[in-house]
Amino acid sequence: MSEVVLEMTDAAFRHFISSPSLTKPLGKKQGSGIFSVNLKIRKGQILGLVGPNGAGKTTLMRILAGIFPIQKGQIMYRDSELDDFSPISDFGLRSVVGHMPEQVRWQGKVSVKRTLEDIAEMRGVSYRVDGILMMVGLSEMKDSPLDQLSQGMRQRLTLATALLGSPKILLLDEPFNGLDPVAIRAFEKLLHKLTEKGVSIIISSHRVAGMVHLVDRLALIHRGQLLIEGTLKDIENEYELDNRIEIQGTGKIPDFKSILTDSASLLDTQTSEDGWLAVIRNQDRNLLKNLIESNAEINTWKTKDTDIVEMLCSATGQNLDEIGFEVISSTMIPYKSRGEEE
Amino acid sequence: MNDFEKLRSVILRQISSRLFSVRMAIMLPILILFIPGMAWGFSDPDVMLPGGVIPSSATEVMFYTSLGIVFGATMCAVLLSFDGVSKDRASGVLEIKLSQPMPRSHQSMALVIGHWFAILIPIWILWSLSFVIVNYRMGDWPSIVDGLTSFISVALILLWYVLFSLIASSHAKEQGTSIAFGVGIWFLFTFLWALVTTMVAFASGVSIGEENDAKWINLEGVLDLFSPNGVFHHLLETRLNDVERGVSPIITWFVALIWSILPWYWFNSRMKTIQP
C-alpha cells in the first residue's frame, strides 16, 4: 500500500451563520460543516469524494486547500524530501496543495496567459506558465481574452492554476463539468500521468459512473461526516454489494429458496410480462446447474457492476427505490450516526 | 523568489491591470477636467470666488484646485476599487487566490497598494500638471514644503477612499452592494457632512454658518476631523497662513494617521477571515 502523505485526524470545521437576537443583533452560531473527519491521503493515488448535495465535500476540499483552518483535530503531512511526518498549518497546506474549485467564471478582457501569470506570481512560479498552458491544451488560446473562452476552456484554465508550482496533492472539485468526452478522456490520462509522478489526487464529482474506473479509493461523505473510506472492493464488502450476479429469464420465476445454498442470499427479484430478474449474492458455482435442472429459462447471466450510487445509498441508509429530488429533506436521507452531539 | 519579491510582483501586476483598464480610460477625461481644468480656472488673473475671495498665491490656487480631488478623484478611487474583492469572489477566482501560498496580509496589502497606486499615479501626474498650469498663468510656484504637503495629502485621501471601497467590496456578497456602499460613503463625506455639522451645531447651540463666530469655526474644524475630506482640507490648510480653525497641525497629521491605519487594519482583518 502506498505511503500516507497527509492524514486528517478528528478534523472539524463549522461555518458560522447569522443568529440575531434582541441582545446580540450581530450574533452568530455554528452551522453546517464537517465533523470528526479521519482521512488518509496516499501518495500517487486518486481518492474519489462522493456525497449528496450539501454533504460537506467542498468544505472538506477547502480545508485541505488551506482556505478554511480546522477548528478541531489535526492535519499531518509527510515531507518526502525530509522524511518528516509532522503537523501542517493551513499556510503550509497551500504550499503543497493545488486546488481546482468548482465552476470558476473567468471573465474580462485580460488574456489567458496574463491571468495565469497573475496567479503564478502569488506562488513565485510565473516562469512555468507556458509549459502548464501546453499541458492543459490552452497554448493556442494563450492570447485570447477570458470572455472568449468556452466552459470547457475555463475548466482547463482552472486546472492550470491548480497545477502551478508542482503540487504534491491536487484537489479537483467537479473537474469534468463542461468538458467534452474527448477532453474528459485526455483529462483522465493527465491525472494518471500525475499519479505516476507521485501526485496524490482528490476528486469530488457527481459524475460517479466515470469515477469507478478512475479512482483508487473512495470516500463517502454525508452530513459532514466521513462515513467510510477505502478501495471500491472494501466498500462493496462493507455494504454487502460484492459478488452479485444478475440473472434474467423468461417464463416462470424459479424457486430460488430451494435452489440457493445457505451462504447465498437473494437480494432482489422482479417479474414482468417479459420475464423475471433476480439479483443474488455469494452464490457458489452450482447455481447455474441447479437452475437448469429446475427448468428455468435463462436469457442473461452477468456479474453486477460496482455502483457508487448504491454504495452511497447503503452508507447513508437511503432506499434506492424511494429517493426523490428533495435531497435536503431529512426524511429522504436518514443519517446513520453523527459522531458528535449537535 | 522570496515573500517580498512575490509581494512586489503581485502589486505591480495589480497596478498595471487597473491603470490600463477600460474604466481608467473612461475616468481620465473627467479627471483632466476636474484637476488641471480647475487649476486653469482658479489661476485666472480675473477670477473672483464667492465671498469676494481672490487667490493670491500658487499655494492658495492649489488649495482651491483640491476641490477637484474631493469631487472627482475620490469618486474615481471608489469606482476603480469597488469590485477589488467582490468581483473575484462572485466569479470564484478569490477561492483560487486564497489557496495560494501567499500570506493573507500580503494579499490584502497587494490589493490596497495596487488599487491605491493605480489611481494615485494619474492623479499625481495631473496634480503636477496643475502646478505647471498655475505657474504658466500666475508665474508663481508653491514652496517645496507646500508642494510636498499637497502631494502627500492627495495620496492620503485617495488611500482612505480606496480602503473604504475595498472594505465594502470584501463584505459585500455582490458588486451592487459594494458600489452602493462606496458611493454612499463618498456622498456622506462629500455632500452630507455639511448637514451633519449643521445638526451638531444646532444641537450645541452654536450659530450656524457665522464665519466670524469662533465657536462655529472651531466646531466645524473639529467635526472635519471625523471626515476624510475634512482631514484632507485640514492638511492643506496647515500650509495656509491666514486660516485658523482651532486644530493644530500635529493633531491633523495624527488624525490622518488614524484614518490610514484603522481602515487598513479593518481590511487586513477582514481578508484574514474572508470565505470564498
Own/partner contacts of B43-46, CB < 8 Å, gap of 24 or more, are B43/B133, B43/B134, B43/B137, B43/B138, B44/B137, B45/B137, B45/B138
Find the CB nearest B92 among A62, A101, A123: A101
Q: State whether B96 and A67 contact (CB < 8 Å).
A: no
In order along its 342 residues, chain A shows pLDDT tens digits of 678 999 999 999 998 888 888 888 888 888 889 999 999 999 999 999 998 888 899 999 999 999 999 999 999 999 877 777 899 999 999 999 999 999 899 999 899 999 999 999 999 887 789 999 999 999 999 999 999 999 889 999 999 999 998 999 999 999 988 888 888 888 899 999 999 999 999 999 888 888 888 999 999 998 899 999 999 888 988 888 888 888 898 888 888 878 877 778 888 888 888 889 888 887 677 778 888 888 888 888 888 877 888 888 888 877 766 666 554 444 334 444 444 444
What pLDDT does A324 receive? 62
From the CA of B29, how many Å to the nearest CA of chain A? Answer: 22
Which of B40, B66, B56, B67 minimizes the C-alpha distance to B241?
A: B56
A16 → chain B, closest CA residue: B275
Q: State whether A62 and B95 contact (CB < 8 Å).
A: yes
Please, are residues B45 and B137 in contact by the beta-carbon 8 Å criterion? yes
Q: State whether B93 and A106 contact (CB < 8 Å).
A: yes
Cα–Cα dist A13/B101, whole Å:
21
Dihedral of the alpha carbons of A320, A324, A328, A332, in degrees to the nearest 10? -50
What pLDDT does A333 receive? 42
Cα–Cα dist A1/B107, whole Å:
40
Interface test with A, best of B19, B99, B107, B271 (most A CBs within 10 A): B99
Q: State whether B100 and A122 contact (CB < 8 Å).
A: yes
- B271 contact residues in A (CB cutoff 8 A): none
Find the CB nearest A66 among B97, B99, B276: B99
Find the CB nearest B17 among A67, A110, A158: A110
Cα–Cα dist A315/A333, whole Å:
10
What pLDDT does A192 receive? 93
* DSSP string across A235-247: HHHHTT-SSEEEE
Higher-scoring residue by pLDDT: B173, B85: B85
Cα–Cα dist A188/B187, whole Å:
54
Cα–Cα dist A273/B21, whole Å:
69
pLDDT digits (tens, 9 = 90+) for B109-119: 999 999 999 99
Interface test with B, best of A114, A121, A127, A128 (most B CBs within 10 A): A121
Q: State whether B6 and A124 contact (CB < 8 Å).
A: yes
Cα–Cα dist A48/A172, whole Å:
10
- B1 contact residues in A (CB cutoff 8 A): 124
Query: What residue spans define the domains of chain B?
Result: 3-273
CA B133 to chain centre: 22
Cα–Cα dist A105/A150, whole Å:
10
Residue indicated by cell numbers 477636467: B33
This prediction has a pTM of 0.87
What pLDDT does B266 receive? 97
Q: State whether B92 and A97 contact (CB < 8 Å).
A: no
Please, are residues A146 and A175 in contact by the beta-carbon 8 Å criterion? no
| CA angle centred on B23, ends B22 and B27, rounded to 5° | 120
Cα–Cα dist A117/B42, whole Å:
46
Chain-wide mean pLDDT for chain B? 92
C-alpha cell at A214: 478512475
B106 → chain A, closest CA residue: A122
Q: State whether A119 and B100 contact (CB < 8 Å).
A: yes
Cα–Cα dist A153/A115, whole Å:
13
Tell me which DSSP letter residue A106 carries. -
pLDDT digits (tens, 9 = 90+) for B195-206: 988 898 888 888
User: For the residues B213-239, what does the mean pLDDT come to?
Assistant: 90
**How many residues are recorded in chain B?**
276
Q: State whether B99 and A123 contact (CB < 8 Å).
A: no
Q: State whether A122 and B17 contact (CB < 8 Å).
A: no
From the CA of A13, how many Å to the nearest CA of chain B? Answer: 13
Position A273, amino acid = E
From the CA of B172, how many Å to the nearest CA of chain A? Answer: 15
- A124 contact residues in B (CB cutoff 8 A): 1, 5-6, 9
For A77-180, where are the alpha helices, taking DSSP H only? 90-96, 112-123, 129-135, 151-163
Q: State whether B10 and A66 contact (CB < 8 Å).
A: no
Task: Tell the burial category of A97 from Cβ atoms under 10 Å away from its Cβ (0-12, 13-18, 19+).
Answer: buried
Q: Three-state secondary structure along chain B?
A: CCHHHHHHHHHHHHHHHHHCCHHHHHHHHHHHHHHHHHHHHHCCCCCCECCCECCCCHHHHHHHHHHHHHHHHHHHHHHHHCCCCHHHHHHCHHHHHHCCCCCHHHHHHHHHHHHHHHHHHHHHHHHHHHHHHHHHHHCCCCCHHHHHHHHHHHHHHHHHHHHHHHHHHHHCCCHHHHHHHHHHHHHHHHHHHHHHHHHHHHHHCCCCCCCCCHHHHHHHHHHHCCCHHHHHHHHHHCCCCCCCCCCCHHHHHHHHHHHHHHHHHHHHHHHHHCCC
Backbone phi and psi for residue A73, each to the nearest 5 degrees, phi listed first: 85, -160
What pLDDT does A210 receive? 82
Instruction: Give SS3 for A139.
Output: helix
User: For the residues B173-181, what does the mean pLDDT come to?
Assistant: 88
By a Cβ cutoff of 8 Å, what residues of chain B touch chain A? 1, 5-6, 9-10, 13, 17, 22, 90-93, 95-103, 107, 275-276
Which of A217, A185, A180 minimizes the C-alpha distance to A201?
A: A217
Please, are residues B232 and B156 in contact by the beta-carbon 8 Å criterion? yes
- A162 contact residues in B (CB cutoff 8 A): 96
From the CA of B268, how many Å to the nearest CA of chain A? Answer: 16
Instruction: Give SS3 for A324.
Output: coil
Give Cα separations from A309 to A101, A212, A319, A330, B128 (angstroms).
23, 11, 11, 18, 68
User: For the residues B210-215, what does the mean pLDDT come to?
Assistant: 78
Q: State whether B9 and A121 contact (CB < 8 Å).
A: yes
- CATH 3.40.50.300 residue ranges of chain A are 4-17+31-238
Q: State whether B96 and A91 contact (CB < 8 Å).
A: no
**CATH class for the domain made up of A4-17+31-238:** alpha beta
Interface test with B, best of A67, A77, A126 (most B CBs within 10 A): A67
Q: State whether B96 and A161 contact (CB < 8 Å).
A: yes
Cα–Cα dist A304/A261, whole Å:
19
Find the CB nearest B96 among A66, A99, A165: A99
Instruction: Give SS3 for A123.
Output: helix
CATH topology of domain A244-303: Alpha-Beta Plaits (3.30.70)
A225-231 and A275-281 strand pairing: unpaired
Cβ-Cβ contacts under 8 Å between A and B: the total is 74
By a Cβ cutoff of 8 Å, what residues of chain A touch chain B? 15, 62, 65-68, 91, 94-95, 97, 99, 101-107, 109-110, 117-119, 121-124, 126, 158, 161-162, 165
B95 → chain A, closest CA residue: A101
From the CA of A62, how many Å to the nearest CA of chain B? Answer: 8
Poorest-confidence range of A219-223, B11-15, B209-213, B214-218?
B209-213
Residue B192 predicted with pLDDT over 70: yes
Backbone phi and psi for residue A124, each to the nearest 5 degrees, phi listed first: 75, 30
B5 → chain A, closest CA residue: A124
User: For the residues B81-92, what does the mean pLDDT come to?
Assistant: 93
List strand residue ranges (DSSP E) for chain A, in order. 4-18, 28-42, 46-50, 72-79, 84-87, 97-100, 169-173, 200-204, 217-222, 225-231, 244-250, 265-272, 275-281, 297-303
From the CA of B35, how many Å to the nearest CA of chain A? Answer: 29
